[in-house]
Amino acid sequence: MMVESASETIRSAPSGQNGVGSLSGQTDGSSGGATGTTASGTGRDMTTGADSNGEMSPAELLHFQQQQALQVARQFLLQQASGLSSPGNNDSKQSASAVQVPVSVAMMSPQMLTPQQMQQILSPPQLQALLQQQQALMLQQLQEYYKKQQEQLHLQLLTQQQAGKPQPKEALGNKQLAFQQQLLQMQQLQQQHLLNLQRQGLVSLQPNQASGPLQTLPQAAVCPTDLPQLWKGEGAPGQPAEDSVKQEGLDLTGTAATATSFAAPPKVSPPLSHHTLPNGQPTVLTSRRDSSSHEETPGSHPLYGHGECKWPGCETLCEDLGQFIKHLNTEHALDDRSTAQCRVQMQVVQQLEIQLAKESERLQAMMAHLHMRPSEPKPFSQPVTVSAADSFPDGLVHPPTSAAAPVTPLRPPGLGSASLHGGGPARRRSSDKFCSPISSELAQNHEFYKNADVRPPFTYASLIRQAILETPDRQLTLNEIYNWFTRMFAYFRRNTATWKNAVRHNLSLHKCFVRVENVKGAVWTVDEREYQKRRPPKMTGSPTLVKNMISGLSYGALNASYQAALAESSFPLLNSPGMLNPGSASSLLPLSHDDVGAPVEPLPSNGSSSPPRLSPPQYSHQVHVKEEPAEAEEDRQPGPPLGAPNPSASGPPEDRDLEEELPGEELS
DNA sequence: ATCGTCATAAACAAAC
DNA sequence: AGTTTGTTTATGACGA
């Protein structure tokens, strides 16, 4: 017990915590703190209560409205999701915890990523698509709500006017303003949210933004310019919302572009992350902040863009940052309104996250469904090559998957990533579960993991395997594996003792990892057969699995799963063309899709060499190697059957591939 | 409640 | 002698 507790603490304390904890905490806290309790979690009751009260202050109104709108959206979302959502835990948990934390997030262990991180993780295109959808939905709801509110206001106004009260007008005006603001805010907040996400990558709204803006900026309020818009919205019986939506769309686009560029955060810099933050997450956040702050200085600010103030409801033009800052301080001072706006923003974000989760789930289900029928010819046009190439090109890989496209607007490939979980242990087998698309996931989010101190959502085993398979030789020394980890994941640049131990432990423990004696020394190889053996059933088929995945995974994971699905689906094609991976083929072949990724390496060196990956059957032999003494293994390697001259040691790696690929001989 | 998988920690031993 | 590499065992969290 002692040990355990100790470890636990360590883990949670450092990394994770921040993640979820901060998230929910902040959410609640900030909202609660700022204004009142209500905001946070479950607003339903609150909302209702609010409703009953006739009059409230503008701030209250805003708040109330937000909640209502959110609730509506929430319900809507829930309904939508209900179909997909898994029966048990998720739903219940979700509802229970109330929106505060997105399902996936909630599910995540403390160390998991925060929503912000998730957002960061998501590829810009994905984010864009998702957010757009979400925004559209939310806007619709808001619109309705807004209309109702307006009607009420009018009624009130009339009543008051009739009464002959002088104040009423003002009050009404305020209320109207508030409503309008809200609408605008929602829209703009969303935009902003997107922007922030994209630009900063992660920017955590709650922690960072909330505190930041509130303190510094704040509010302002609606600029005169806003009013017109607001009114416009009102006035236009048609659909103000739509307009706004459109606008958002536009903005988004713009944003997206920005985001894209942003995609590869340079932040690699160790210094930033190093903060002693607890574990990875914090670091991440920190780094993010830094980055954001940097941006600010340099000439950009999350709330400043295109020469104007991006504060929700404010479009004041500012020539430069300095002016903008002044504007922020003067116009957006800390007050109820700004506070309310922030709260709204937070809720919006939450809502979006939830929706994102739902949509992801849906997508998963869709993918799973599609996948289920392998028989169907997969239309994917995915060029194998592409996939292979994608693997690690830059980090930004486009997913080819045309297939996905049809299914959803989102880009499959882009998925972003997943990993969200920042945390520690969390990763749980998610990756494994799906069989991962680890490779594709990695390929796509290569840059992300490389720079973000986020724990990858893959098990050590899958990571080790990936590392090995990426090599032309398909073999790595322990030290090389270590290097791969540190090179590929920022997360593994810390706590080396811990994860290295874990790596060694995994190598020894899993039969799928075979130690081969080499001239050079010992290298580790992967026995795909074994690896596959241990893997759980594919999610594709069973809804349950899917469900699990969804629930268990963080957003990232979701994405990963998504990718996986895609990958899997595309896999067949890949194979057929035969291109994928030359060298790797052997290992992969037999198995599976997950390996899709295997091919990750663009050139397995001889890629060509490997003829055709031919025989999967050969593979079978390797199997128990591990159990057997090194000898067996050695046999394999050293004795390269085919013509490989000197495989291992000095020999070219490529040759090795062949050898490895045909290990079967020995077995037989 | 039980089982399997994973992560983490740690003790040891053998090889460098 | 100190470090690295491997192996094992123990323990706890999780999900099924």
Q: What is the pLDDT of residues A591-607, one digit of tens each?
A: 333 433 333 333 333 33
Strand B positions within 7 A of protein Cβ atoms? 5-11, 16
Task: Answer for A534: CB within 7 Å of strand B.
Answer: yes
Rounded distance between C-alpha atoms, residue A469 and residue A600, angstroms = 8
CA A501 to mean position of chain CA atoms: 28
In 3D, which of A559, A541, A588 has the Cα closest to residue A431? Answer: A559
Q: What is the average per-residue pLDDT within A304-320?
A: 74
Q: What is the average per-residue pLDDT within A143-159?
A: 53
Q: Which position has the higher pLDDT, A467 or A323?
A: A467
| CB-side neighbour CA atoms (13 Å) of A609 | 22
Rounded distance between C-alpha atoms, residue A152 and residue A157, angstroms = 8
Residue A343: its pLDDT value, please? Answer: 67
Cα A651 to Cα A70, A383, A544, A637, A661: the distances in Å are: 64, 32, 47, 11, 16
Chain A residues 206-225, Cβ below 7 A from strand B = none
SS3 of A81, please?
Answer: helix
Task: Answer for A496: CB within 7 Å of strand C.
Answer: no
Looking up tokens 């450092």, which residue turns up? A14
**What is the spatial distance, in angstroms and rounded to an integer, between the CA atom of A23 and the C1' atom of B16?**
48
Q: What is the average per-residue pLDDT within A196-220?
A: 36
SS3 of A514, please?
Answer: strand
Among A91-95, A379-383, A426-430, the range of highest mean pLDDT: A426-430
Is residue A102 scored above 50 in pLDDT? no
CA A561 to mean position of chain CA atoms: 11
In 3D, which of A163, A182, A166, A165 has the Cα closest to residue A58? Answer: A182
Rounded distance between C-alpha atoms, residue A431 and residue A370, angstroms = 20
Q: What is the average per-residue pLDDT within A250-273?
A: 33
Residue A453 binned pLDDT confidence (cut-offs 50, 70, 90): confident
**What is the spatial distance, in angstroms and rounded to an integer, between the CA atom of A516 and the C1' atom of C6?**
13
Is residue A341 scored above 90 in pLDDT? no
Residue with CA nearest to B5's C1' atom = A429
Q: What is the average per-residue pLDDT within A78-103?
A: 36
Residue A82 binned pLDDT confidence (cut-offs 50, 70, 90): very low
Chain A residues 453-492, Cβ below 7 A from strand B = 458-461
Task: Answer for A11: CB within 7 Å of strand B.
Answer: yes
Among A144-148, A180-184, A391-395, A509-513, the range of highest mean pLDDT: A509-513
Cα A47 to Cα A32, A40, A100, A564: the distances in Å are: 14, 11, 15, 40
Task: Answer for A551: CB within 7 Å of strand C.
Answer: yes
Residue A149: its pLDDT value, please? Answer: 54
Is residue A144 scored above 90 in pLDDT? no
Mean pLDDT of chain A: 48
Q: What is the average per-residue pLDDT within A307-321?
A: 74
Is residue A506 scored above 90 in pLDDT? yes
Residues 6+ apart with CB under 8 A from A87: none
**What is the spatial distance, in angstroms and rounded to an integer, between the CA atom of A183 and the C1' atom of B3?**
53
Residues 6+ apart with CB under 8 A from A604: A472, A581, A582, A583, A584, A610, A654, A657
SS3 of A612, please?
Answer: coil
Task: Answer for A427: CB within 7 Å of strand B.
Answer: yes
Residue A317 binned pLDDT confidence (cut-offs 50, 70, 90): confident
pLDDT above 70 coverage of chain A, percent = 20
Task: Answer for A10: CB within 7 Å of strand C.
Answer: no
Task: Answer for A505: CB within 7 Å of strand C.
Answer: yes
SS3 of A411, please?
Answer: coil
Q: According to the 3-state scheme, what is the secondary structure of A270-291?
A: HHHHHCCCCCHHHHHHHHHHHH
Nucleotide nearest to A110 in CA–C1' terms: C13
In 3D, which of A569, A614, A577 has the Cα closest to residue A435? Answer: A569
Task: Answer for A1: CB within 7 Å of strand B.
Answer: no
**What is the spatial distance, in angstroms and rounded to an integer, between the CA atom of A556 and the C1' atom of B6?**
19
Task: Answer for A9: CB within 7 Å of strand C.
Answer: no
pLDDT above 90 coverage of chain A, percent = 6
Using one digit for the tens of pLDDT, what is the confidence trace for A385-432? 223 223 332 322 333 333 333 233 333 333 333 333 333 333 444 433
Q: What is the average per-residue pLDDT within A306-333?
A: 76
**What is the spatial distance, in angstroms and rounded to an integer, between the CA atom of A85 and the C1' atom of B10?**
41
Q: What tokens does A602 get? A: 């663009």
Rounded distance between C-alpha atoms, residue A342 and residue A185, angstroms = 9
Task: Answer for A494: CB within 7 Å of strand B.
Answer: no
Rounded distance between C-alpha atoms, residue A290 and residue A650, angstroms = 46
Q: What tokens does A129 get? A: 């698509």
Residue A454: its pLDDT value, please? Answer: 86
Rounded distance between C-alpha atoms, residue A422 and residue A652, angstroms = 38
SS3 of A524, please?
Answer: strand
Residue A147: its pLDDT value, please? Answer: 54
**What is the spatial distance, in angstroms and rounded to an integer, between the CA atom of A526 and the C1' atom of C5?**
18
Beta strands A308-309; A513-517: pairing state: unpaired
What does the buried/exposed string (b/e) look like for A391-406 if buried means 16 or more CB atoms within 10 Å of the residue's CB? bbeebbbebbbbbbbe
**What is the spatial distance, in angstroms and rounded to an integer, between the CA atom of A497 and the C1' atom of C3?**
13
Residue A304 binned pLDDT confidence (cut-offs 50, 70, 90): confident
In 3D, which of A256, A284, A227 has the Cα closest to residue A456? Answer: A284
Residues 6+ apart with CB under 8 A from A186: A69, A138, A139, A142, A312, A344, A348
Work out the number of other CB atoms within 10 angstroms of the CB of residue A260. 15
Strand C positions within 7 A of protein Cβ atoms? 4-16
Rounded distance between C-alpha atoms, residue A124 and residue A128, angstroms = 6
Chain A residues 468-487, Cβ below 7 A from strand C = 477-479, 482
Residue A351: its pLDDT value, please? Answer: 66
Looking up tokens 């032999």, which residue turns up? A621
Q: In the CATH scheme, what is the code of domain A441-534?
A: 1.10.10.10
Q: Which position has the higher pLDDT, A462 or A569?
A: A462
Task: Answer for A425: CB within 7 Å of strand B.
Answer: yes
Task: Answer for A387: CB within 7 Å of strand B.
Answer: no
Rounded distance between C-alpha atoms, residue A600 and residue A596, angstroms = 8
Task: Answer for A326: CB within 7 Å of strand C.
Answer: no
Looking up tokens 């992801």, which residue turns up? A360
Q: Which position has the higher pLDDT, A110 or A342?
A: A342
Rounded distance between C-alpha atoms, residue A48 and residue A40, angstroms = 14
| CB-side neighbour CA atoms (13 Å) of A84 | 25
**What is the spatial distance, in angstroms and rounded to an integer, between the CA atom of A502 and the C1' atom of C5?**
13
Is residue A495 scored above 60 in pLDDT? yes
Nucleotide nearest to A459 in CA–C1' terms: B6
Nucleotide nearest to A507 in CA–C1' terms: C6
Task: Answer for A11: CB within 7 Å of strand C.
Answer: no
**What is the spatial distance, in angstroms and rounded to an integer, between the CA atom of A498 and the C1' atom of B16?**
22
Instruction: Give the residue ranges of DSSP H helices in A12-101.
Output: 17, 23-34, 44-52, 58-84, 92-97
Nucleotide nearest to A89 in CA–C1' terms: C15
Residue A486: its pLDDT value, please? Answer: 92
Residues 6+ apart with CB under 8 A from A428: A109, A457, A459, A552
| Distance in Å from the first CA to the final CA of chain A | 48
Looking up tokens 């307006």, which residue turns up? A150
Task: Answer for A502: CB within 7 Å of strand B.
Answer: yes
Task: Answer for A613: CB within 7 Å of strand B.
Answer: no
Residue A143: its pLDDT value, please? Answer: 55
**What is the spatial distance, in angstroms and rounded to an integer, between the CA atom of A453 and the C1' atom of C6?**
28
Work out the number of other CB atoms within 10 angstroms of the CB of residue A331. 20
Residue A536 binned pLDDT confidence (cut-offs 50, 70, 90): low
- pTM of the complete model beyond 0.85: no
Task: Answer for A498: CB within 7 Å of strand B.
Answer: yes
Q: What is the average per-residue pLDDT within A238-264?
A: 34
Nucleotide nearest to A1 in CA–C1' terms: C11
A432 burial type by CB count under 10 A (0-12 exposed, 13-18 middle, 19+ buried): buried
CA A242 to mean position of chain CA atoms: 28
A640, A645, A650, A656: CA torsion to nearest 10 = -40
Residue A522: its pLDDT value, please? Answer: 86
Residue with CA nearest to B7's C1' atom = A425
Q: Which position has the higher pLDDT, A144 or A658?
A: A144
Task: Answer for A496: CB within 7 Å of strand B.
Answer: no
**What is the spatial distance, in angstroms and rounded to an integer, between the CA atom of A536 and the C1' atom of B3?**
14
Residue A355: its pLDDT value, please? Answer: 65
Residue A507: its pLDDT value, please? Answer: 94
**What is the spatial distance, in angstroms and rounded to an integer, between the CA atom of A403 and the C1' atom of B4?**
35
Rounded distance between C-alpha atoms, residue A270 and residue A267, angstroms = 8
Rounded distance between C-alpha atoms, residue A105 and residue A91, angstroms = 13
**What is the spatial distance, in angstroms and rounded to an integer, between the CA atom of A433 and the C1' atom of B4?**
13
**What is the spatial distance, in angstroms and rounded to an integer, between the CA atom of A508 and the C1' atom of B13?**
14
Is residue A608 scored above 70 in pLDDT? no
Residue A524: its pLDDT value, please? Answer: 92
**What is the spatial distance, in angstroms and rounded to an integer, between the CA atom of A100 and the C1' atom of C11?**
33
One-letter amino acid at A143 equals: Q
Task: Answer for A497: CB within 7 Å of strand C.
Answer: no
Is residue A558 scored above 90 in pLDDT? no
